Every structure is written in C-alpha cells, then in structure tokens.
Amino acid sequence: MSGLVLVIEDEVDLATTLEYNLRSEGFQVRLAHSGRQGLAAATSDPTPDVIVLDLMLPDLAGTEICRRLRETDRTRETPVIMCTAKGEEIDRVVGFEVGADDYVVKPFSVRELILRIRALMRRVQRGEGEPSLIRFGRLKIDRDAHRAWVDDTEIGLTALEFRLLHAFLSRRGRVQTRDALLSDVWGIDADVTTRTVDTHVKRLREKLGDAGAYIETLRGVGYRFKGEPEEATETSV
C-alpha cells in the first residue's frame, strides 16, 4: 500500500527524519514547514492520503489548520494525525474537537507513527469511496474479497494480476503506457523492464479467456481497456 503523506512540521530536523523514514517505508512524502504552506500543500494535486500535522507551528495553530481542512471539500475526508508535545494536553483535546483522527505525543516513535498512518489508510481506502464490486460486461471483481469472475465463474488471479486488472478496470477507455502501468501496479521504484508488462498482460488475457479481448494493444503506445463492454472490436476511429 503506497500513498502520499503530507507532513506539516516546522522543526526541519524532525521533518526530514520523518520524510526519510516514510519514504523508506514506501510512502510518497510532501513537506511543509509552516501552516500556510501546509494548507496550500494540502489542496494541491494530488490530494494527500494522510496529513501529519504539528500542533505548534510558527504562523498558524494546528487546530486552526485542522479546522480549515475540515471546511474544505477536498480535504474533508482526509485523515489527520496530530503531533503534540507533552504538556499540551488541553490543546490536544481541542485538536480532537476539531476533528483530528489520531494523535501521537512527542517524542514519538517513528514506527508508531507509521503504524497509525497505515491504519488510517486502511480504514479510508475501503471507506466511503467506490463500492468493492466492479462489474464490466462479463467481468466482475471484488476488491475486498480479492476475487475475480468471468461469466460468474471465478478465476484465480495472483496478487499482481489482480492489481493489473484493477488498474485496467479503473482506467477503462484510456490508454495506459507501459511506464504508467509500471508505476501504478509495480510501484514507483520498480526496477523492472517494460517488457515485463507484456508478459503479465499476456497471462492476464489467458486467464480472462474470451474476456481477454477487453484489453487492446495500441502499437507504439501502450494498452487500453475497452470503455464499454459492447464496444465492437473494429468500430471506432
């Protein structure tokens, strides 16, 4: 599970430490060293998946930031973890009143912070978003159960194949270059040949049987999952 974490923290040392640790755990990181920067960073693309917020900032109080995040549509659902120093109990309480989702007390263990970030991401990921079931023509996949069917017959996909199919399904109708697929399915730092994608597309098509035709090859560009189930193979253009 990768994800983008925004760290709003004015102590540069601490911020850098967190950045390093989070990256080495596979997260992407965006840093902000002041409250205003933080607010801007929270609403720029892409929206962070989790925000780590220091309570004591030079310009804006963490509580105030949190309140504004909750008033903004883009960040209303984004989980916030508050960092408080010891002795800030009262503010800490207020922090929760304002809608932080969890907190850690300084000095905190980085490992604990990461665990809490992970827990929040898990909760949100399945949360209110799109339903776990995705149907497309003769295809059906269930993300929670991690299962896939063609014509109501379950097909056994490996973890990678499942991610690949999901990537196709969630971007159906749009071309995806091999590089794009690599970073989506394999992860940012995948040191893998682009040809590997070919192999796995082949395996996926095989397992999908007839439904494998949903995956089109665009010579010189990449792959494209059909936009509509009935879309004729030769129509278009």
Partner DNA sequence: CTTGATCGTCATCATCCCGTCACCTGGGCC
Partner DNA sequence: GGCCCAGGTGACGGGATGATGACGATCAAG
Residue 110 partner contact from DNA, a copy of itself, none using kind-dependent CB cut-offs of 5 to 8 Å: a copy of itself
Q: What, of a copy of itself, DNA, none, does residue 17 touch, CB below 5 to 8 Å by kind?
A: a copy of itself
Closer to DNA by Cβ: residue 173 or 187? 187
Residue 173 contacts which entry, DNA, a copy of itself, none (Cβ below 5-8 A, type-dependent):
a copy of itself
Contacting positions for a copy of itself (CB under 8 A): 12-13, 16-17, 20-21, 24, 89, 92-93, 96-97, 99, 101-103, 107, 109-112, 115-116, 118-120, 122-123, 144-146, 153-154, 158-160, 162, 173-175, 177, 179-180, 183, 188-190, 218-221, 224, 227, 236-237
Closest to DNA by CB, 136 or 186: 186
Alpha carbon distance 77, 69 (integer Å): 9
Query: Is the four-CA dihedral 94, 98, 99, 105 of positive or negative sign?
Result: negative
Shortest CB 17 distance to DNA, Å = 23
What are the backbone dihedrals phi and psi of residue 141, each rounded to the nearest 5 degrees, phi first?
A: -130, 145
Coil, helix or strand at residue 99 = coil
Q: Binds 101, which of DNA, a copy of itself, none (CB < 5 to 8 A, cut-off by type)?
A: a copy of itself
Which CB atom, from 63 or from 75, has the smaller least distance to DNA? 63
DSSP H/E element including 80: strand 80-85
Work out how close the CB of 45 gets to a copy of itself at its nearest, in angstroms, rounded to a whole number.
27
Scanning the chain, the segments in alpha helix (DSSP H) are 12-24, 35-42, 62-71, 89-98, 110-126, 159-170, 178-181, 195-208
Site of interaction with DNA (CB under 7 A): 87, 89, 91-92, 156, 158-161, 186, 190-193, 195-196, 198-202, 205, 217-222
Work out the angle at residue 134's Cα, subtended by the Cα atoms of residues 129 and 136, and round it to the nearest 5 degrees.
Answer: 140
Q: Nearest 5°: phi and psi at 82?
A: -95, 135
127 binds, among a copy of itself, DNA, none (CB under 5 to 8 A by kind): none
d(CA 150, CA 165): 12
φ/ψ (deg, to 5) at 12: -65, -40
